Amino acid sequence: MSSRTTRFLAVGLLAASMSLSAASVRAQEFINVLTGGTSGVYYPLGVALSEIYGANISGARTQVQSTKASVENLNLLQQGKGEIAFALGDSVKLAAEGNKDAGFPGPLDKLRGIAAIYPNYIQIVASQDSGIKSLADMKGKSLSVGAPASGTELNARTIFGAAGMSYDDLGKVEYLPFAESVELIKNRQLDATLQSAGLGVASIRDLATSVAINVVAVPKADVEKIGAPYIPVIIPAGTYDGQSADVETAAVGNFLVSHSGVSDETAYQMTKLLFENLDKLTAAHAAAKAIDPAKAIDGMPIPLHPGAERYYKEIGLIK
């Protein structure tokens, strides 16, 4: 074989190799799942979703990102820095409106809905030593209200407003993630924590096994003053060690959210695989037991992603 022919073959093989590499890069789908703190509910469910997507979406490379949850997640989606995220319903609504006080620089117009999932329960837990048994007892006491401008912190402001109170009534306000709040209570450096999460959240379970607690009620009348998307619910007796009675509180629906830059096919697959793998999500956290495909678009405060809409038409949820 002549040297000239050899050179032509080498060039041809290199071009083919580069073409295949480019096709491989184009085929690879990156899915970043935006969650919350590692001691909450979003994170274990996000890990489960990431594993489901990685195993079932051809060419997908997945990642789970622990964040400050709802507000940060929604801002990241608007910037294209994630493909799917967990967020509270009131945060999603405020994001679409561009509420600056809630932490949004302007209307987040790229957000697209994937599914309504499970409700977050507003869970206010105090050490028994603090003497806190009601919201009124919180006056002059110390409370952690979640990470700054998180969905939990928005919930806290709303709950206190409905009770005719504000942070000014408290002795001290801490803006800490769930696990850090619990550690301070254990060390007698904090009286109470407000956590917006699915029932049985790991951080409060941990606290209840370490110190005697009181689960503080949010009265039904206060919840009804707020109105949608807040609803009155019950934290059943025995949800946490030492909780001997049912406790009234508020709940807010959680949503999975994407953005308009995610392809219709990817959004379709993410939606379909979510509902086809509820057993795996429930194994990751019991809060997923409340995920119901029949309620997947209930209260959706933003437009559905066309890919999600395609799935709901397939199952007859949308005509």
Same domain for 106 and 214, yes or no, is no
Same domain for 200 and 303, yes or no, is no
Same domain for 237 and 142, yes or no, is yes
Altogether, the residues listed in the chain come to a count of 319
Angle between helices 151-162 and 70-78 (to 10 degrees): 130
Please state the φ and ψ torsions of residue 5, each to the nearest 5 degrees.
-65, -40
pLDDT for position 20: 37
pLDDT for position 1: 53
What's the rounded Cα separation, in Å, for the pair 256 and 300? 10
pLDDT for position 29: 85
Q: Which of 199, 225, 252 is the last residue of a domain?
A: 252
Q: Is residue 16 part of a domain?
A: no
pLDDT for position 27: 52
Count of domains for the chain: 2
And the tokens for 278?
């509820």
Asked if 265 contacts 27 with a C-beta cutoff of 8 angstroms, the reply is no
Q: Which of 229, 252, 275 is the last residue of a domain?
A: 252
pLDDT for position 203: 94
Q: Is residue 97 part of a domain?
A: yes
pLDDT for position 8: 46
pLDDT for position 18: 41
Q: Going by C-beta distance under 8 Å and a sequence separation of 6 or more, which residues neighbour residue 176?
A: 144, 146, 147, 184
- Stretches where the chain sits below pLDDT 70 are 1-27
What's the rounded Cα separation, in Å, for the pair 236 and 232? 13
Q: Is residue 14 part of a domain?
A: no
Q: Is residue 22 part of a domain?
A: no
Q: What is the extent of the structural domain holding 262?
A: 28-118+254-314
Asked if 81 contacts 268 with a C-beta cutoff of 8 angstroms, the reply is no
Indicate which CATH number applies to the domain containing 280: 3.40.190.10
pLDDT for position 180: 95
Q: Is the dihedral of CA 204, 209, 214, 219 positive or negative?
A: positive
Q: Which of 237, 252, 267 is the last residue of a domain?
A: 252
- The structure's pTM equals 0.79
CB atoms within 10 A of CB 206: 16
The predicted-structure confidence for 23-59, as pLDDT tens digits, reads as follows: 333 357 899 999 998 888 999 999 999 999 999 999 9
Same domain for 60 and 149, yes or no, is no
And the tokens for 249?
């509180």
pLDDT for position 19: 39
And the tokens for 118?
């499970």
The predicted-structure confidence for 121-165, as pLDDT tens digits, reads as follows: 999 999 999 999 999 999 999 999 998 878 899 999 999 999 999
Q: Is residue 140 part of a domain?
A: yes
Same domain for 38 and 54, yes or no, is yes
DSSP 304: B
